[in-house]
A and B are shown apart, each in its own frame.
Chain A
Amino acid sequence: MSDQPLLRVNAVTKYYGGRIGCEDVTVSLWPGEVLAVVGESGSGKTTLLNCISTRLPPTSGTVEYRMRDGQMRDLYRMGEAERRLLMRTDWGFVHQNPADGLRMTVSAGANVGERLMAVGDRHYGKIRAAAGDWLGRVEIDVDRIDDQPRDFSGGMRQRLQIARNLVTGPRLVFMDEPTGGLDVSVQARLLDLVRSLVADLGLSAIVVTHDLAVARLLSHRMLVMKDGHVIEHGLTDRVLDDPQEPYTQLLVSSILQV
């Protein structure tokens, strides 16, 4: 693997008029690495995610990504067509609400197969087989391939969303509160799945979450945000076991011990 990072975020800042969304965030991400961005509501973590994933242009700062040919490219200097192609093939984005990341009135098979069709796959049988394969990998019963996500439970929808994102073999996946709104047991199952997929596929990921347990389970490194600033960063285990900043200590100590 190259020793160049996969993603380089440099001094990314976003203001909403007079209000700070996020300010001066610098971080790099290496292949196969999972980075958690944690903080409470209003910390700026979702703003940061959106700036990095090109959904929201920052006020200043750059975001560079290493393309498959090894070249580092400034994402905001890219043409929209190229950027959108990147989002469909090399990247994934898992929304907190699966309905935002799925076509609810189209079958599960079509949902998973869409990206393959968007990049030129033209064999119905093979597309369907790939979709079926992925449904299996995210533990959705293959018999449901022709059912619509409207008829799925929350946990199933989320797993379908993950399959839809991973089918083109992306190298980088963004996740915005992937377990938000799910029952605890369902969350656990989903996190296990995500963890094994990430490991099996060598994915890099940036996971935004307010839940430190999610961060602990999924990530190698962690950013802690408060009021738009990164106040602490480091290896996940270190930050959670030995938090330096008072705010981080507060967060860690607030985890309910069950």
Chain B
Amino acid sequence: MTIQQTDMATYNFAYLDEQTKRMIRRAILKAIAIPGYQVPFASREMPMPYGWGTGGVQVTASILGPDDVLKVIDQGADDTTNAVSIRAFFQRVANVAVTTHTKDATVIQTRHRIPEETLGKGQVLVYQVPIPEPLRYLEPRETETRKMHALEEYGLMHVKLYEDIARNGHIATTYAYPVKVEGRYVMDPSPTPKFDNPKMHMSEALQLFGAGREKRIYALPPHTEVVSLDFEDHPFEVQKFDQPCALCGAEGVYLDEVILDDKGGRMFVCSDTDHCEKRREEGHRGPLAAEAPEMQS
């Protein structure tokens, strides 16, 4: 029998061996040096499936140190199953402190949302990315898209936006909305709603993007210019909700729609659970706060 019945403690800190971490850190450094450029890396098989955050996990595992404080969110919430699972993984293999509070975290791994609270210097936001290539659905061939990025040939991207307007009257992209980084590379911000795009611009935090299955890492160093693609006469707009959070009354934040009954009853609540909790602790109340049953944290 070549396998011992050991527990996870015999794995290296944060699971990955040091050689692998070094390889990934080199890729990260290269990505930071060329903001928005997708750096290929030798993604490892991880104990969770491809498509479930292996890229983000590998990036986090490579930068995590014993003094870090880790927050993991999915859809903006700390307690969705995948976020719970990833947080538990790091607790076991890194014995690192974890938190649900955005401002206390040094590393935040996220799927599909950027926290509402502005991130500060010294914080790192690690995004889970399914398809890193913004041109992928316009041009399936990697050999072609690589050339397009190298030669800054992004006409095809704008053709798509033009067609959207000609056909629908609107740009039809509502998430994974492409951005131009430092006036050079077109980048996919991961499937965050376009609502979150402005948060990437000139952030004080370091933003890292990991795509495990597609084997790419890219980055936005702090204070990077990130501009959403648009037309002058059809400027980029974030979506607006016509009501505040039903629980904490917050406005100008992204809301989740929750179906209450089968007669069309619905309520809108903060997607960012930490933000909502904090506001309620501070005494803010939304219109349905009294009626809504106790939310599980």
Contact = CB atoms under 8 A, between A and B. Distances in A.
A and B in contact, CB less than 8 Å? yes
Interface of A: 80-81, 84, 88, 103, 106-107, 109-110, 113-115, 117-118, 122-128, 145-146
Contacts of A103: 159
A113 B159 CA distance: 8
Nearest to A131: B162
Contacts of A117: 155, 158-159, 162
Contact of B154 (A106, A118, A127, A145): A118
A124 B165 contact: yes
Contacts of A125: 233
A128 B150 CA distance: 28
B232 A122 contact: yes
A88 B233 CA distance: 25
B17 interface: no
Contact of B159 (A80, A84, A114): A114
A84 B231 contact: no
27 contacts: A80-B151, A81-B152, A84-B151, A84-B153, A103-B159, A109-B162, A109-B166, A110-B163, A113-B162, A114-B159, A115-B155, A117-B155, A117-B158, A118-B154, A118-B155, A122-B230, A122-B232, A123-B232, A124-B162, A124-B232, A124-B233, A124-B234, A126-B233, A127-B162, A127-B231, A146-B166, A146-B167
A125 B162 CA distance: 10
B175 to A, nearest CB: 22
Contacts of A146: 166-167
Contact of A123 (B150, B163, B231): B231
Q: What range describes how many residues of B lie at the interface? A: 10 to 19
B159 A110 contact: yes
A106 to B, nearest CB: 6
Interface of B: 150-156, 158-159, 162-163, 165-167, 230-234
Given A81-B150, A103-B159, A127-B231, 6 more contacts: A107-B166, A110-B162, A113-B162, A118-B158, A124-B165, A124-B233
Best-buried of B156, B166, B233 by chain A (most CB within 10 Å): B166
Nearest to B232: A123
B159 A106 contact: yes
Contacts, number: 55
Nearest to B154: A118
A117 B151 CA distance: 15
Nearest to A84: B151
Contact of B231 (A81, A122, A145): A122
A126 B166 CA distance: 13
Best-buried of B152, B163, B234 by chain A (most CB within 10 Å): B163
A254 to B, nearest CB: 44
The 3 tightest CB contacts between A and B, nearest first, are A118-B155, A117-B158, A124-B231
Nearest to B230: A122
A223 to B, nearest CB: 32
Nearest to B165: A124
A81 B184 CA distance: 14
A123 B151 contact: no
A177 B163 CA distance: 30
A123 B162 contact: no
Best-buried of B150, B162, B232 by chain A (most CB within 10 Å): B162
A81 B234 contact: no
Contacts of A122: 230-232
A161 to B, nearest CB: 16
Contacts of B231: 122-124, 127
A114 B155 contact: yes
Contacts of B167: 107, 146
A88 B231 CA distance: 21
Best-buried of A81, A84, A88, A118 by chain B (most CB within 10 Å): A118
A107 B161 CA distance: 12
Best-buried of A106, A110, A115, A125 by chain B (most CB within 10 Å): A110
A88 B232 CA distance: 23
Contacts of A88: 155
Contacts of B162: 109-110, 113, 117, 124, 127-128
Given A110-B166, A124-B234, A146-B167, A81 B159 contact: no
A1 to B, nearest CB: 31
B230 to A, nearest CB: 8
A165 to B, nearest CB: 14
Contacts of B230: 122
B153 A118 contact: yes
A118 B166 CA distance: 18
A24 B158 CA distance: 42
Contacts of B165: 124
A107 B167 CA distance: 9
Contacts of B166: 107, 109-110, 128, 145-146
